[in-house]
Chains A and B, each alone.
Chain A
Amino acid sequence: MRPTIAIVSLIAVFAGATSLQAATEAEFSAAYAAAEAANKEAGSLRNQWTTTAATLAAAKKAATEGNFDSAVAASREAEALAKASIFQATSEKTLWKDMEIR
């Protein structure tokens, strides 16, 4: 029984330590790729935001400096911005009519 508890405890401690660890380059790459893909989709809808581009640039800069925590956070923010611009472009396909002078 004791060895089992010890092993489980060790796994738990290790897992906890992992989650507290700084973000890795791989995590940044995945987050950045997702943000870039969303921004590309916004581009195909002709509705990219300047803030998305600026946040993507900030993410890349942080990664270059080895600050992957900031790089991942900025990438996720850029992805959220890009998704918001996609939502805007999609909903405006019909909503624009509400503003029309008739």
Chain B
Amino acid sequence: MRSAIRFALAGFALVTLIGAAAVHAADTPNPQADAAAFKKFFTDKFPKVKLEDFVNGPYSMDEGLYRQWQEKEQFPPYEFSVEMGKEMFSKPFKNGKSYADCFPNKGIGVRQDYPYFDTKQGKVVTLELALNQCREANGEPPFSYVRDEMAALTGYMAFTSRGKPFDIKIPDDPRALEAYQKGKEYFYTRRGQLNFSCATCHVQSPGERIRAEVLAPALGILNAMPIYRSEWSGMGTTSRRFTTCNSQIRGVPLSPQDDEYRDVEYYLSYVSNGLPISGPGARP
């Protein structure tokens, strides 16, 4: 009888341990598995859309919009911004240095590597942040993260990187994995009085309409940034997109480039690894 009780207790302990291990495994961040599941979700949901076409957002979801967009690309509305960005990028700072001195490959064709986790700073560095850090290091005041100048610079840098696949890396640093995980948490967390998360629109409802707009899929959503939006009658940075998304769901936006926004950009870019840069983009 005693041995039967011992056997039962041992069995119970083993089951408990296995259960705990399974829960632990489920909670341990696994970016590679996340990225694979992310791509599978969207390609299963939209079997007719080619993987690389997801970067075209709502246009990949709607044939009519796709045709309109192709015609619009003959005279793209972001063209002036790219020209402005090119001019700004090549103009030296007062100290004689330029943006090219702050970036690998002189800043040409590098968009696909941003954001990255900077182990020295211990945080995610987005392209927008890197540009302002470059300015400040050279004695120039930072640009607003939501205005035309930043959109022009990032637009030009994206333009020189078109077609290059996102290549976001998570270094062997627990802080990097933590930033990734926090970005994921932010992406799925409901907020604002409307009780929406980023995923409510861009995972649960891509291709559906919200008022007159067709919602873009989360897969490849940042590959097209920055974007010209007809709704804005102008260009918008990633920071502008995040903050206005928050306002639209009746949440008070955080400050541009706060940890949460940089982390969610890290997460979203990582799960879109392999998809080509298509920015700057144009959206209705």
A is bound by B: yes
Which chain A residues have a beta carbon within 8 Å of chain B's beta carbons?
A: 43, 46-51, 53, 81, 84-85, 88-89, 92, 95-97, 99-102
Residues of A within 8 A of B254 (CB): 46
Residues of A within 8 A of B203 (CB): 99, 101
Which chain B residues have a beta carbon within 8 Å of chain A's beta carbons?
A: 34, 37-38, 41, 184-185, 188-193, 195, 197, 199-200, 203-204, 247, 250-252, 254, 260
Our pick among B190, B192, B204, B252 for the contact of A95 (Cβ within 8 Å) is B190
Our pick among A50, A96, A102 for the contact of B193 (Cβ within 8 Å) is A50
Indicate if the CB atoms of B41 and A101 lie closer than 8 Å: yes
Indicate if the CB atoms of A99 and B197 lie closer than 8 Å: yes
Indicate if the CB atoms of B247 and A92 lie closer than 8 Å: no
Given the interface contacts A99-B197, A101-B38, does A51 sit within 8 Å of B250 by beta carbon?
Answer: yes
Offer 29 A-B interface pairs, CB within 8 angstroms, sorted by A. A43-B252, A46-B254, A47-B191, A47-B251, A49-B192, A49-B193, A49-B250, A49-B252, A50-B192, A50-B251, A51-B250, A53-B252, A85-B193, A88-B191, A92-B190, A92-B191, A96-B188, A96-B190, A97-B188, A99-B190, A99-B197, A99-B199, A99-B204, A100-B184, A100-B188, A101-B37, A101-B38, A101-B41, A101-B203
Most buried by A among B200, B251, B260: B251
Our pick among B34, B41, B197, B260 for the contact of A96 (Cβ within 8 Å) is B197
The CA of A34 and the CA of B154, in the complex, are separated in Å by 44
Residues of B within 8 A of A84 (CB): 193
**Smallest CB separation, B240 vs chain A (Å):** 17
